[in-house]
Amino acid sequence: MNNSFTISDEQQNYTQYNLQANPFPYSPVPAEDPEIFCGQQHVAEQISSTVSSVLATGKSKHLVVTGKYGNGKSHTLKYTRSLLRDRDDVVVGYVAQPGEGFLDIYHEFMYDLGFNRIQELAYNWLASVARDVTDANPMGAESMRSLIDEGDVLLSDIVPEAIRKLSDITRFADFARAIVHMVYEDTNLYAWQWLTAEGIRYEQRKEMEIHSALDDDTMGVRAFTALKNLLLDLGYTSVFVFVDEFESIARLNSKNEQATLNSIRHLMDQNSSGLCVLFGCAPEVWQDVMSEYHAFSERIGQEVALRPLTSEHLYELVADYLNRERDEPNGEAPIHPFTEESLDMILQRSQGNVRQVLALCSRVLDTAIEDEREVITEEFVQESM
Partner 1 sequence: MLYRRRELDLPNGNLDTPVLFPVRNLGKRSSDNTPTYVGDIPDFSSAIINARSIRNRDPMWNRLTNGVTLREEMDVPEDTIVFADSGGFDFTSGEVDTTPKETLETQRQLNADIYGTVDVPLSRKNRAAENQDRIEQSIQFALEASDHHDGDSLLLASVHGYDPETIRNNIQHLEKYGDFHGYALGSLVPIRTDYEKVTSLVLAARKATEKHLHVYGLGGLVYQPLLLYLGVDSFDSSAFIRAAGNRNYLIPGFGGEELQNIEEMERLPCPCPICGQRTLDDIRQDRTALTQHNLWALATELRRFRYVAESERDIENYLDLRFRGNEVTQRAYKTAKQQIRRLV
**Contacts with partner 1, residue ranges (CB under 8 A):** 148-157, 159-160, 163, 183-187, 209
Q: Residues 43, 335, 339, CA angle at the centre, nearest 5°?
A: 110
The residue count of the chain comes to 385
C-alpha–C-alpha distance, residues 381 and 350, integer Å = 12
Closest CB to partner 1 among residues 148, 243: 148
Which residues are bridge partners to 65 per DSSP?
Answer: 280, 304
Residue 90 host element (H or E): strand 90-95
Q: Which residues of 222-232 are buried (b: 16+ CB within 10 A; e: fewer)?
A: bbbbbbbbbbb
For residue 43, the minimal CB distance to partner 1 (Å) is 48
Q: How far is the CB of 233 from partner 1 (least distance, A)?
A: 21
Q: At closest approach, how far in Å is the CB of 184 from partner 1?
A: 5
CB of residue 113 to partner 1, shortest distance in Å: 22
Q: Shortest distance, CB of residue 152 to partner 1, whole angstroms?
A: 7
Cβ proximity to partner 1, 116 vs 272, nearer residue: 116
Question: Is 191 or 243 the residue whose CB approaches partner 1 more closely?
Answer: 191
- Return the H-helix or E-strand segment holding 302: strand 302-305
Smaller CB separation from partner 1, 155 or 319: 155
- Report yes or no: 217 and 253 within 8 Å, Cβ to Cβ: no
CA distance 349 to 356: 9
Nearer Cβ to partner 1, position 164 or 294? 164
Q: What is the nearest approach in angstroms of partner 1 to the Cβ of residue 185?
A: 6
- Give 183's contacts (C-beta < 8 A, 6+ positions apart): 119, 122, 123, 126, 145, 148
Q: Which is nearer to partner 1, 126 or 267 (CB)?
A: 126
